[in-house]
A and B are shown apart, each in its own frame.
Chain A
Amino acid sequence: MTVETPSDPRVETLDRVVIRFAGDSGDGMQLVGDRFTELSAAFGNDLATLPNYPAEIRAPAGTIAGVSSFQVHISDHDIVTPGDGPNVLIAMNPAALQANLSDLAPGSTLIVNGDSFAQRDLDKAGLTQNPLEDHSLDAYNLYVVPMTSITVEATKDLGVRPRDAERSKNFFALGLLCWMYTRPVAPLIEWIESRFKDKEQVLAANLAAFKAGRNFGETAELFDHPYEVRPATLRPGNYRNIIGNLATAYGLIAASQKANLPLVYASYPITPASDILHELSKHKNFGVKTLQAEDEIAAAAMAIGASFTGALGITGTSGPGVDLKSEAMGLAVSLELPLVLVDVQRGGPSTGLPTKTEQADLMLAMYGRHGECPLPIVAAKTPSHCFDAAFEACRLAIKYRTPVMLLTDGYLANGAEPWLLPDLDALPDISVAFATEPNAGTEFLPYLRDPETLARPWAIPGTAGLQHRIGGIEKEGIGLDGEGGSGNISYSPENHDRMVRLRAEKVARIAHDIPGVEVDHEDGAQVLVLGWGSTWGSIQAGVRRIRARGLPVASAHLVHLNPFPADLGDVLRRYPKVLVPEMNLGQLSRLVRAEYLVDAVSFTKVQGVPFRAAEMEAKILEMMA
């Protein structure tokens, strides 16, 4: 690709930078964060993002509760996290400054909108003194920029009313940052022109504000010189920027195509899962049917109904929705039909922290249903990996005729990273044949299983001669004498015992159909860091820091949580110490302790944000001591 050569000879090259845009939730911080990310992605940087916004659509303006922020980490090399703290903080008001300052290391750059530090702004943020005047910010490279007034001035001639003009100040901030980090601006100007094409004045105002921001950087002589972060040398191939929810939606479509089954996605709106529904509802020309159900339970039931008729039934939600769907998941386990439940985990219990991330639904996925009710669990580790994990969840559901839980979380759902576009032709064929003929003489036995996978035949309505009735009541399976399998109601004690064990065995056998644990081992490593889900980036960052100190450490990350890979026990026993970092109170650690009798040490954090690399490093060091 061609890289714009910065015109300014004073440009200083950085290998990475972490930038955080922070403002009121009405200030458009997510929007400019997104834009900066897209520009950097198209420029070829590696990147990771961390959006952070309040659950309220509009908390009182100017208050700490209403602060919204977007952190983006860009680099010229492979990175795995959005960064611990920002190198540059843009604070649009005192509340944003107050809420984010503790993450900013001394010596870092702080850019504030000087126009929003009047007494009433300070009052709303609960400040008694003006931090711009009381020397409390002396440790930072502070730049006070009158963003609002310059924006109003720059848009004055466009006939924009001052109150409306003020709303473009986020584009001023974006323009300034684009100058500071020598971002190519053409794509952004094109984006503004296309996005606001129906609102002439808004378009003109945003464009003017953006240009004013850039010009301010160049001419104000406030900033000494701009920086650049060169494109990263990633694996060769075609890249795009992707967020987790989008990757999940695409993974489901890919699975539907490779399974040759129509996709039916039934869901009820819930943060942070709704974007999967939004995305899938756009792709009707793929034969994708989406259904916004009346509630979470209905969504699960609808997906089961779709699977019964020979579609790939999917339902998606977050923790509170999983609670509601648990009875339907039990039905799917009993019916032995393909189904995928996507759980985009968020902070709990109850409504908890709807917009913040957590990975505390693992036990819920494992055990959150009455009776012996096992189902496979797949977890995504990065935003782009949501594509692979969604595909894998569908593969297992279809092949084994079982509901599968796919765990992602709020951080993955909204976090972005560059994605090496997959070769779709290389994805495996995951189609299965429907039953078309009687399987026992002239009879059709819906619970006569495949001897290897233990999956039962999938006979769909419309198939003559294979009519059958299935339900949630215990069904007659194949007996020890080889008789049975009718699926008719059976209250026989022996039959129930056998069916409970068969359903468990069916899930357990999947261990032979998934890859072994991939261990990133180093000679001499005494500590294995074992993770799952979105902690992958934090764990990698921590491990890299340890290795940078010349110390050996091993790591492994689980994608399959039920069943575990067949060799997990052997892997764990190879290391004197096992550390399990999780954004919960130790759920995987309990599972591996129970399963393998290893003294795994739990390391936990439930603050709604990912572990920092420094925290991870410190904990691993402590384990090594």
Chain B
Amino acid sequence: MTTEPIALTRKDFESDQEVRWCPGCGDYGILAAIQFVLPELAVKPEEMVFVSGIGCAARLPYYMNTYGVHSIHGRAPALATGVAMTRPDLHVWVIGGDGDMLSIGGDHLSHALRRNVNLKIVMLNNQIYGLTKGQYSPTSEVGKVTKSTPFGSVDFPFNPLSVALGAEASFVARTHDMDRKHMMETFRRMHAHRGAAFVEIFQNCNVFNDGAFGGLLKKDVRADMLIELRHGERIRFGTDGQLGVAVNEFGEPHVVAVADVGDEGLLVHDERRADPTLAFALSRLSTGPHMPTPIGVFRDVDRPVYDAEVQRQLVAASERSGPGDLAKILASGPTWSVD
């Protein structure tokens, strides 16, 4: 196969449609990061399919000059599974919000992850229903006052990364809409992973849930509140690197002062651990955007990929039985002729 030189730019991935999110929406930055990173990935626009469900985030495919399906609420991972299993040659990205992916579509998300379908699933988490104008979502905190919960929500929220890890995801990462560089790096890593990848993006809805992640993402607190995970490195953060993550006697990670445990007392991040227990525990280090919260790649392991396995069975069947001959099948078993 000859590889043509591809010199694509951001423009090659922009459709002619006017972007219609609310001014100031975090989605703009996410769209830009995607359009910036794609030319680097040596993927042709026609080989990409963006699949989405319903919600603000789900409008993203319309803005991409790729193939795209804006489907029905919650079902994007399922529809995308049909795309990926039929055409392993395509790069299939699934875009959705927290309501789309974890509420109405929680079923499909978890099954796409456990099957390890070659899908890049990007969940824009703003902890609110935006398109329907402000109801609490499955990631909203307890006590959230919204239009549908005037006295505060009594629902306990999902931790999206815990859900993904519990669903056997082979790649799990988190990034946020204020850091294009980190988003682009996360997308690069996601793209390089073969199998189902799940990325949560903290995304600000400036109309219905403004500043939901302010406790983490404001410039002045970021250094002390975001824990950047780097494979093979000790988990250390803070303005002066004064904080870190260590594991207690029960194997549970917790935040420590480096001064107390020393550098060697800190946990070395290993995203390639076959066992997801530590990654799961890291996903639960924080219970909300008011505690130091890890971002970056939590887990990146190799597992048999669904579409490849499906294809393998097809090839094996053809090698075993030759190409299908329907006439032969119809006439298999007892037949008789009438003259």
Interface, chain A (partner B; CB < 8 A): 1, 38, 41-44, 187, 231, 233-241, 250, 253-254, 257, 262, 264, 266, 283-289, 291, 293-295, 297-299, 301-311, 313, 327-328, 330-331, 335, 421-422, 424, 461-473, 488-489
Contacts and interface: CB of A to CB of B under 8 A. Distances in A.
Contact of A253 (B87, B310, B324): B324
A237 B82 contact: no
Nearest to A240: B335
A252 to B, nearest CB: 11
Nearest to A418: B336
Contacts of A331: 71-72
Contacts of A465: 46
A207 to B, nearest CB: 19
A471 B75 CA distance: 13
Contacts of A489: 17, 62
A172 to B, nearest CB: 23
Range class of the B interface residue count: 35 or more
B2 interface: no
Nearest to B322: A285
A287 B111 contact: no
Given A240-B335, A471-B70, 15 more contacts: A43-B336, A236-B337, A250-B329, A285-B324, A289-B310, A291-B310, A293-B78, A302-B79, A302-B81, A302-B85, A309-B87, A313-B82, A461-B90, A462-B46, A465-B46
Contact of B107 (A264, A298, A335): A298
A38 B54 CA distance: 52
A240 B71 contact: no
A89 B46 CA distance: 65
B313 interface: yes
A294 B82 contact: no
Interface of B: 15, 17, 44-51, 54, 61-62, 64-72, 75, 78-87, 89-90, 107-108, 111, 310, 313-314, 316-318, 320-324, 326-327, 329-331, 333-339
Contacts of B326: 250, 253-254, 257, 286, 424
Given A250-B329, A473-B70, A264 B82 contact: yes
28 contacts: A1-B336, A43-B336, A231-B338, A238-B336, A239-B338, A283-B324, A284-B317, A293-B78, A294-B111, A297-B78, A297-B108, A298-B111, A301-B78, A301-B82, A302-B78, A305-B84, A306-B85, A308-B49, A421-B330, A461-B47, A461-B48, A462-B89, A462-B90, A464-B46, A468-B67, A469-B61, A469-B68, A472-B54
B304 to A, nearest CB: 16
A466 B86 contact: no
B17 A488 contact: yes
A301 B67 contact: no
Contact of B72 (A241, A299, A327): A327
A283 B329 contact: yes
Contacts, number: 216
Contacts of A310: 86-87
Contacts of A328: 72, 75
Given A235-B338, A464-B46, A470 B85 contact: no
SS class of chain A's interface: helix, strand, loop or mixed? mixed
Most buried by B among A43, A283, A294: A294
B90 A295 contact: no
Nearest to A307: B82
A467 B43 CA distance: 14
A289 B67 contact: no
Contacts of B69: 304-305, 308, 335, 469-471
Contacts of A237: 337-338
B75 A462 contact: no
A42 B337 contact: no
A526 to B, nearest CB: 37
A302 B310 CA distance: 14
Contact of A295 (B61, B65, B84, B107): B107
A462 B47 contact: yes
Contacts of B329: 250, 253, 283
Contacts of A238: 331, 335-337
B330 A467 contact: no
Contacts of A470: 68-70
A463 B89 CA distance: 12
A602 to B, nearest CB: 36
Q: Which of B75, B78, B323 has the most CB of A within 10 A?
A: B78
B276 to A, nearest CB: 21
Nearest to B44: A464
A266 B82 contact: yes
Nearest to A41: B334
A1 B338 CA distance: 7
A239 B89 CA distance: 42
Contacts of A231: 338
Contacts of A236: 337-339
Nearest to B74: A297
Contact of B334 (A235, A240, A250, A473): A240
Nearest to A304: B79
A1 B339 CA distance: 8
A286 B84 CA distance: 19
Contacts of A253: 324, 326, 329
A462 B334 CA distance: 45
A262 B88 CA distance: 14
B314 to A, nearest CB: 5
A308 B90 contact: no
Contacts of A288: 324
A289 B85 contact: yes
